[in-house]
Structure 1
């Protein structure tokens, strides 16, 4: 689940988001019980689309403790109509320790849909 808010200053858009998700409970798949992510965004309004960069912090709530990393991303949001938007984002995690992502990519690409109220 993700909550997001933006403030429009003409063509400049500033915003932020908070997301929390559940992970795998199987220790062979990382042993993460879930993740939390907080990020701030700055973007440029192109009319029906918004391009942005994000800076944030992601925390894996593991079964054996917690692991936090910094994140940097770029994304785009395209409005299909007044209420429905498609989103895409590339997110790169900066590991706090060398070898922190053994067998995992530090990058993530996500595609989603957002509903405006």
Structure 2
């Protein structure tokens, strides 16, 4: 949520911790603690404000911006697919694709076995 808040507020010089905490309705110490972890993992950059050293400005790293853009594209694709089929239609479509995949795998296994393809017929031995 911190990353999304920083992306949403998206100022070039960074977003102060207190602004993010107000947006998220959490204590500033929560944002400070977790933003340090995000910085340690390379998702966020923290730096002191030039005009007031008490204020910490947060910005997204290039890696994080790229990842969020990728997620936004995937979300747009998901939304497009859902819009085309609807929720029930998407589930039905996925089930049909799975059935086709299962059939294709079965045919592939049969072709690999090298056995001649014969149709099996049941022989009943009724003696009445």
Flag the structure with higher strand content: 1
TM-score w.r.t. structure 1 length? 0.21
TM-score w.r.t. structure 2 length? 0.20
Flag the structure with higher helix content: 2
